[in-house]
Amino acid sequence: MAHRARTFIKAPLYNGIGRYVCQLQRLTLTFCKTHGSSRFMREYIERDLVNFARDNPGVVVYLKPRRHRDPYIVAEYLNGQRDMMRVNHITASELVKWVDHFRTRSGEPIARINKYHRTDHPSIQGFWTPFTNRPTEQNLAKFPNKELSEFKSVFPTATEQLQQLAAQDSPETSEPKQ
């Protein structure tokens, strides 16, 4: 993987303001009508291609019969990227998965990732973490610390709720019996 370019995580810019836009623009299935290596491609076309075209109206599907050629798929994306894959030994069920893979890709070339955090407008304060606005008392505490080791519940436990109810119901001015 050392030969691949490095990049940051990115998404297609303005991918449909308000809705998702599928980045796959065109899918071309090239196959032979008689050749044995195109058997699974023909099976996929007969069984699953109509459902794919119905479910994805934004994707143009072309079928190109070519005599005595191995089958392959060409996926063209909105950013101009083209992916080609030979599918002569791939079954029809695997073809469903590969076509779905092409449909869900962004079209960006596959590259190694430099960093998982990137912004065009860096903050002076730095990245937010769950500990950003926490009290700093435990920074100076000596461990093990019994007070910081105890579990602090946000809600009262059932026992505490019963004790509160009992304290409210009993008269506070009652004198002990002798």
Question: How far is the C-alpha of 73 from the C-alpha of 85, rounded, in Å?
Answer: 5
Asked if the structure places residue 163 within a domain, the reply is no
Question: How far is the C-alpha of 25 from the C-alpha of 83, rounded, in Å?
Answer: 12
Domain of 52 in residue numbering reads as 21-112
Asked if the structure places residue 151 within a domain, the reply is no
Contact 64, 13 (CB under 8 A): no
Asked if the structure places residue 2 within a domain, the reply is no
CATH code for the domain of 54:
3.40.30.10
What does the pLDDT read at residue 152? 80
- With a threshold of 0.85, does the pTM exceed it? no
pLDDT along the chain (178 residues), means of 10: 69 69 93 93 94 94 94 94 93 95 87 75 77 76 84 86 90 58
What does the pLDDT read at residue 1? 52
Residues in CB range of 123: below 8 A, 6 or more apart = none
Contact 105, 23 (CB under 8 A): yes
What does the pLDDT read at residue 107? 83
What does the pLDDT read at residue 174? 55
Give Cα 85 to chain centroid, integer Å. 24
